[in-house]
Amino acid sequence: MKAIWSMAGVLLVASLALGQEEGRSTPAQVRIAQARSAIEQHPNYPQAYNDLALALARRARETGDPALYAQAEKALEKSFRLQPGNVEGLKVQCWLLLGKHEFAKARELARELNQRAPDDVLVYGFLADANAELGNYEEAEDAAQWMLDLRPGNIPGLTRAAYLREIFGDPEGALELMRNAYDRTDPGEREDRAWLLTQIGHLHLVRGEHSEAESALTEALRLFPRYHYALGVLGTLRMEQQRWADAVELLEQRYAIAPHPENLYPLAKALELAGRSREARDAFRTFERQASRESKGVDNANRELIFYYIEHADRPAQALRLAERESARRQDIHTLDAYAWALHANGRDPEAQQQLERVLKVGTRDPLVQSHAQAIAARMEASR
């Protein structure tokens, strides 16, 4: 599971309390139970298996547990045995590919589906997601616009448009779209509403509006206690407020729920800033071990690993090799920014500036990107 604005997250570990707050099942758990009941009653009905796979994918977003994708794939296999190539099953398969960060495969399948169902709003959503994650922003924007043209005001279209607005440097427009999506979401969809509130909190944080961010994130955690996405953004807010101990506590909770290396890296940084040096060193070592183990896969923590090699391990050459490999796979602004920073760390500032110019051309106002651009420009100026 990646950053809060991952497009795969737009679509779509675990403690015993998660998903059972106040004794209630989560929306995804309810759908899983309903699908399994339908399968018991109609074991030869392919759509029941599609419904189960989709519900399991939703549960993966609720919990951050990638093992649920394997369960979803098994359900889909049964659907395709009963009805090979059924469109609804292929749509769920595309959803799963996005969730597993297999973006190139997802785009290929989405294009095939778009040929078969050219007016399907959700398929355009898949195209928007895959293209955005690969850095094909014009194609992503076209697909998101099709979603809103075909069905004005639909929630998936609004969230994708919001994501792209932020990428293009318009967090104000993104916030307006995300609020619109929240207002249109059924109050019974607690996890969806918590997810949207987390995005709203993130956008307030981007705008420097700490009070508004805290309000949205607190409400998200009230709706869905121990929600790992909201804990992560609230931890980031505490870091900006220099409340290091509080940040550590929140990021520890998130990592306990969703123990992925990309969640351990900010925790290690928070521990360091909190003055807990020994724990920080241990956390960084564990992060490196975990991130290296999954580095060659598509669902990885390579961006975090690049920054770790540069800023904590003093291994710039290793960072650059990894950045070159990752940027060959995807060209989104965050990957290109990491690549530029690795080039800079290796003294190759003209090339670094060239990569960052591609990033800045998109319009992003991301503070990390801006700080990297300033540092690279300053060193180039000093060397003249």
DSSP secondary structure letters along 102-130: -HHHHHHHHHHHHHH-TT-HHHHHHHHHH
Instruction: Give the predicted TM-score (pTM) of the model.
Output: 0.90
* Helical segments of 189-315, H only: 190-206, 210-223, 228-240, 244-257, 261-273, 277-293, 302-311
Which pLDDT score, from 0 to 100, does residue 27 have? Answer: 87
Specify the amino acid at residue 47. Q
Contacts of 139 (CB under 8 A, 6+ apart): 127, 131
SS3 267: helix
Which pLDDT score, from 0 to 100, does residue 17 have? Answer: 30
Which helix (H) or strand (E) element contains residue 293?
A: helix 277-293
Tens digits of pLDDT across the chain (384 residues):
343 344 444 444 222 233 334 457 888 999 999 999 999 999 999 999 999 999 999 998 888 888 899 999 999 999 999 999 999 999 999 999 999 999 999 999 999 999 999 999 999 999 999 999 999 999 999 999 999 999 999 999 999 999 999 999 999 999 999 999 999 999 999 999 999 999 999 999 999 999 999 999 999 999 999 999 999 999 999 999 999 999 999 999 999 999 999 999 999 999 999 999 999 999 999 999 999 999 999 999 999 999 999 999 999 999 999 999 999 999 999 999 999 999 999 999 999 999 999 999 999 999 999 999 999 999 998 987
Which pLDDT score, from 0 to 100, does residue 11 have? Answer: 44
For residues 341 and 335, give the distance between their C-alpha atoms in angstroms, rounded to a whole number.
10
Which residue shows structure tokens 């990309």?
A: 262
Which pLDDT score, from 0 to 100, does residue 4 have? Answer: 38
The token duo for 258 is: 């969703």
Closest CA to 188 of 27, 25, 41: 27
The CA-atom distances, in angstroms, between 105 and each of 14, 95, 96, 110, 302 are 28, 11, 11, 9, 19
Which residue shows structure tokens 């309000």?
A: 215
**Which sign does the torsion angle of CA 292, 298, 299, 305 carry?**
positive
**Is the distance from CB of 342 to CB of 323 less than 8 angstroms?**
yes
The token duo for 146 is: 């099709």
